Structure 1
């Protein structure tokens, strides 16, 4: 996972994953990129949605489509019609999180909390935004409140672990993720992230065992297939990984993460028979989001194709991104 949050300029790739229960969803964000020679990941469960007034539904639909300005306008109309609409304030805050306007997100979440001090998801949103702007202690405090409100729900625990990992507190992060895996043993993402941490701290046996736990889960959603593909890739089961990414893409053709990872596999797989630069570039051209900070993947694709001049240009773009002031401010341990 990214140390000290995500860069402010990144477009978030989002998808909707059903949560057990009527009219409830988790908004999931996933991000992958390279920092200090390590592949790190971040996964946030941001907010809970349910049906409501027309403007609230419109805002939610705009939000799903990535039309964030329109989503904010819709939520503002809902708030104007009813200033005490807690959900409108909370959802507006979630949009501010997606566009990295975190001070405004905190303000919106505080509005929801003022009206309902036990608003679990607003406290989670505050924790996310505080983490993003480098306020570690405030992030921890907010997430502790959320956990106290609903100690058996994995969302706050999961993000709580993310915060510790983002700030290099890997042992503490593992402790928290162990709580998550006990609360929901079938939550594959947490096993995958435990594997990534173990791999990063060179506990390779533990990493392998964590990745294998992911494979025990029968995938149904985009997120589950996507995570299974990641775990299979880490374990060297490349045919199965490609199949998992294809299933994820079939479920959600608009999401970018599975496409990026499949393109990376086709460009860099240790086994030559899986490398196919032409297929990888086709996948890259169909990706709508997350390209800006993944030019290292494009460089690898061009290198596999033998287009070394283009590979150099792509890598220069990647280096320029990593050296940009915003990225540097957010990527230091």
Structure 2
């Protein structure tokens, strides 16, 4: 009795795994080996795929498809020279095998030689029985070259041949978006919808284009059509909720997001957005409940922790705000947004050393905003760390040359360090760049500001004739 195809595959797989466990040797035909290898590759079990390929070639040393699997695995492991040598041998025997051209193209692609990869794929296209697979590969090579017009054309050909090839549809829209051709994308999708009026994916993409164009009413209508086409389409409900938020329809948005919670496991995104909507409606208690559920669902979502932290910060409950941002930092100590809030909260609590540490970590993590440098400088000044403050400003001035806020701070700090020539030099620079910021010296360095010589320089800058 012949087994149905899937039962036959399962039987072959069970026999193969039994052979590995018992160290026995069972015979499989080459097609069985191909199915076994394909299964392992699709499930990411590369070691077992390699084992099956090795045993397959021992039993069928001339099997072309098994050799191609072996080549594919060499390419996967970046052993490109080995793979290329094997392909050259195979090419002399199999010049009409599309896979030889495809794998050779794969090697060129790995070497960033996408133009030669395309040439080989075009040769494969002439002999293939599956045009769509090859055209999709050509489209991807054009994407690597950032030739989005040609990429778009090949993906369009794929979709013409198979209207359910949603991978091609997504790639087409990606090309339109990269080229900022949003109206053209809508026209293309509308043509597609004329033939496929119940394509939830196409309606969803139309909605996203209208959202980008800020035409929220049309976006909302498109997402409604996506939901009519598939009332379990979670993505459409989420996008609909985002549009309703833009239209300030917060109760409707909560309803859209809540529907997604019943369709599948709750997503942290939906929980966060429900919390944001309740916050906009002035219901801070319910907002906090959903922010808490959000971080319970996904402790790595920084927006959830930030929402809770900001919630308490707005209420001036700085200790609770600090408690939650410290929890967030314990989970992800490399998050710049956490450290910026940590610094700001500690500043409100007059914990200046901790605040300075927060700004320092923010800078160490690559956030070079001017305000971060200046805030840290002012804290170092409070802490009496004058030389560290100068060093901080020297680094800041590399990113923000000719900046009056930096120059006036330099002037005050060099005065404290009794480097008068430098103090006067930076004072004059600050006046030259933007005189209005001289208030910085008045506030941060009042003794320096009140000195007659400093007042004289300021007055002379105001009235050069003096």
After superposition, the Cα gap between the structure-2 partners of 1:229 and 1:56, relative to the gap in structure 1 and judged at 3 Å, is: farther
Q: Residue 12 of structure 1 corresponds to which residue in structure 2? A: none
Q: Answer yes or no: is the 8 Å Cα contact 1:300–1:311 preserved in 2.
A: no
Q: Answer yes or no: is the 8 Å Cα contact 1:303–1:311 preserved in 2.
A: no
1:90-239 to structure 2, matched below 5 A, reads: 90-97=170-177, 100-217=180-297, 225-231=301-307, 233-234=309-310, 236=321, 237-239=324-326
Q: Residue 337 of structure 2 corresponds to which residue in structure 1? A: 261
Unmatched tracts of structure 2, length 5 or more: 1-41, 44-131, 312-320, 378-392, 406-466
Measured in 2, the distance between the counterparts of 1:71 and 1:265 equals: 40
After superposition, the Cα gap between the structure-2 partners of 1:279 and 1:218, relative to the gap in structure 1 and judged at 3 Å, is: closer
After superposition, the Cα gap between the structure-2 partners of 1:116 and 1:100, relative to the gap in structure 1 and judged at 3 Å, is: same
Instruction: Compute the displacement of 1:179 (Å).
Output: 1.7
Instruction: Compute the displacement of 1:83 (Å).
Output: 3.8
Q: Answer yes or no: is the 8 Å Cα contact 2:210–2:216 preserved in 1.
A: yes
Measured in 1, the distance between the counterparts of 2:145 and 2:254 equals: 34
Q: Residue 303 of structure 1 corresponds to which residue in structure 2? A: 374
Measured in 2, the distance between the counterparts of 1:195 and 1:81 equals: 42
3-state SS, counterpart of residue 369 of structure 2: helix
Measured in 2, the distance between the counterparts of 1:82 and 1:215 equals: 40
Larger strand fraction of residues: 1
Is 1:240 aligned to 2:327, yes or no? yes
Instruction: Compute the displacement of 1:216 (Å).
Output: 2.7
Bigger relative contact order, structure 1 or 2, given CA contacts below 8 A and separation 6+?
1
3-state SS, counterpart of residue 248 of structure 2: coil
Equivalenced residue count is 236
Using structure 2 for the length normalisation, give the TM-score.
Answer: 0.43
Measured in 2, the distance between the counterparts of 1:130 and 1:265 equals: 35
After superposition, the Cα gap between the structure-2 partners of 1:53 and 1:129, relative to the gap in structure 1 and judged at 3 Å, is: same
Unmatched tracts of structure 1, length 5 or more: 1-21, 24-51, 250-258, 286-296, 316-333
Larger Rg: 2
Instruction: Compute the displacement of 1:226 (Å).
Output: 4.0
